[in-house]
Amino acid sequence: MLTAVSSMLTSVPANAVETVSGAPYDYTATMKPERPYMHQYDKLMMQKLFLARPDQKGGSTVGMTFADALDVIKGMYNLSRGVPKIVYLVGWQYEGHDCKYPAFHEFNKALKREEDATARDSYLWLQREAKKYNTTVSVHLLVQDAEPDSPLWREYVDNELICRDIDGNLITRAVFNGQPMYDVNLAAEWDKGMLQKRLDEVVDLANIKEAGTLHCDAFYARMSPYDAANMARQEEAMRKMLRYMRDKGIDVTIEFLHNGQRCDQMIGLSPAAWWIDMSAVERAKLPASLIAGGQEGKFGKLWLKETFLFGDNYQAEDDFNFVDIYRDKDYSKAWERAKLGIATRTVPYLFYNTLKIQEYDEANEKVTYSGGVVSDWKNKTVTWDGVLLRDNNNIFFPLAWKDNKEIMAYSQEGYNEREWRLPTGWSNVKAVDVCNVSQDGMDKPRTVKVKNGAIRLSMEPNSIVSIVPAK
């Protein structure tokens, strides 16, 4: 376990800089990533769990411990019918969220289980246990930020690794967690081999190589005019970082694709964006196998049209944020909020990602997919060869990740005795088993007969059911 930070200037490989390319990648030549990603992000749900924030008194305000996080992972597994997931932990280090950067060398002691010797032991336990629920656990961090209370602060200032304005003053952008935030000069840090060493240490500490993925928030170029470290130089270092991590078998997902703070979106080097801030025109051109998400929008402002037409992912972070948003820590209400997101965002997204986009009709706000699937924003419907899969926030979607036939039905408002025609591939099914789905699992099934290729279904408001061929 890493308990202290030694000098970052020691034991840096002499060839560290020369072995990694910083050149841009032209994804348009193949419409594929430069190298295969370690995970299939177009076939999974990507989430964050907000664990803790510094209380600005030397302690930690905890919303969720590592043990609590496993309970949420179990519930997500049940509610989403076992969809593969990646969960990034926020606030896992020091006293919590965005604390003591550029260092990330110590786990947050307030998150550990009583039966474990260290918080790191509890984290590794969570990683192991989460695998039982088809979930990969990794961490969220920032590489561009620096704070004066960091154990690396003096070293980074002395070695001129903090961005400076044209007059040589250290650049600070805001105050966060009671600390002024400064910008790390990634180009200079890479050139001295210190970024590589910093990444190596967190990979070992948090067992990231086994996870195969890491989330890097606010992955923007921070310019340093004093030493001519412009955006081009900084983005070159960022591309080197992405390739350096991929050499280790680790994908780096990022916060935004655009957001106006990067010239190069680095598509094909990074597999997914937390906020997939792409227009419908862009979504129609860029397959999710190349760049995935993440929810559509920016900083919680959701782009509903793009989500309806192309799908996206339910993030979970805000709904289970018991530090900043829902301080009552009412899990039952959080699970109610989760149902809508899973059913209306992730389920359609993963279904669409099994198809190819044939046409986006911008004027009529309609997407035609292969196989006869049409998503129509104006009418708020999705059909498959004329069979209704979605009517506003009433859904009746096949689950793309299931080997056997299974449909998820959901209704936001509820309805009584509504008829749903079974989709393509269900023509030989004579009866179905219908089970209520919750975070605790599934209720006892009830059998419903199929008549003329359709079933009649009643739904309570904000409820999910699983539908499979009757045994």
- 429-461: pLDDT as tens digits: 999 999 999 999 999 999 999 999 999 999 999
Q: What is the pLDDT of residues 129-168, one digit of tens each?
A: 999 999 999 999 999 999 999 999 999 999 999 999 999 9
Least confident of 14-28, 79-93, 198-212, 371-385: 14-28
pLDDT band at 4 (very low <50, low <70, confident <90, very high): very low
> pLDDT value at position 5?
38
Residue 2 has pLDDT above 90, yes or no: no
> pLDDT value at position 212?
98
Residue that the structure tokens 């952008």 belong to: 173
Residue 16 has pLDDT above 90, yes or no: no
> pLDDT value at position 259?
79
Query: What number is the average pLDDT over the span 316-336?
Result: 97
Give all strands (DSSP E) within 81-198, no chain letters.
Answer: 85-90, 135-141, 145-146, 172-176, 179-183
Residue 17 has pLDDT above 80, yes or no: no
Q: What is the pLDDT of residues 220-266, one digit of tens each?
A: 999 999 988 899 999 999 999 999 999 999 999 999 998 777 899 99
Q: What is the pLDDT of residues 400-414, one digit of tens each?
A: 999 999 999 999 999
pLDDT band at 300 (very low <50, low <70, confident <90, very high): confident
Query: What number is the average pLDDT over the span 5-12?
Result: 42
> pLDDT value at position 260?
73
For the chain, give the percent of residues with pLDDT over 90.
Answer: 92
Gap between the Cα atoms of 145 and 278, Å rounded: 26
Q: What's 346's DSSP letter? A: I
> pLDDT value at position 430?
97
Half-sphere exposure of 443 (CA within 13 A, CB side): 10
pLDDT band at 18 (very low <50, low <70, confident <90, very high): low
Residue 131 CB contacts under 8 Å (≥ 6 apart), including other chains: none
Residue 216 has pLDDT above 80, yes or no: yes
Q: What is the pLDDT of residues 180-208, one digit of tens each?
A: 999 999 999 999 999 999 999 999 999 99
Q: What is the pLDDT of residues 30-46, one digit of tens each?
A: 999 999 999 999 999 99
Query: What number is the average pLDDT over the span 324-335?
Result: 96
Give all strands (DSSP E) within 241-377, no chain letters.
Answer: 251-256, 272-275, 292-295, 297-298, 301-302, 357-361, 366-369, 373-376
Least confident of 63-67, 178-182, 212-216, 466-470: 178-182
> pLDDT value at position 19?
84
Gap between the Cα atoms of 344 and 27, Å rounded: 30
Structure tokens at 458: 């009643």
Using DSSP's 3-state secondary structure scheme, residue 79 falls into helix
For the chain, give the percent of residues with pLDDT over 70.
Answer: 96
Query: What number is the average pLDDT over the span 332-336?
Result: 97
**What secondary structure does DSSP assign to 215-268, as a single string?**
EESS-----BGGGTB-HHHHHHHHHHHHHHHHHTT-EEEEEES-TTS-S---BT
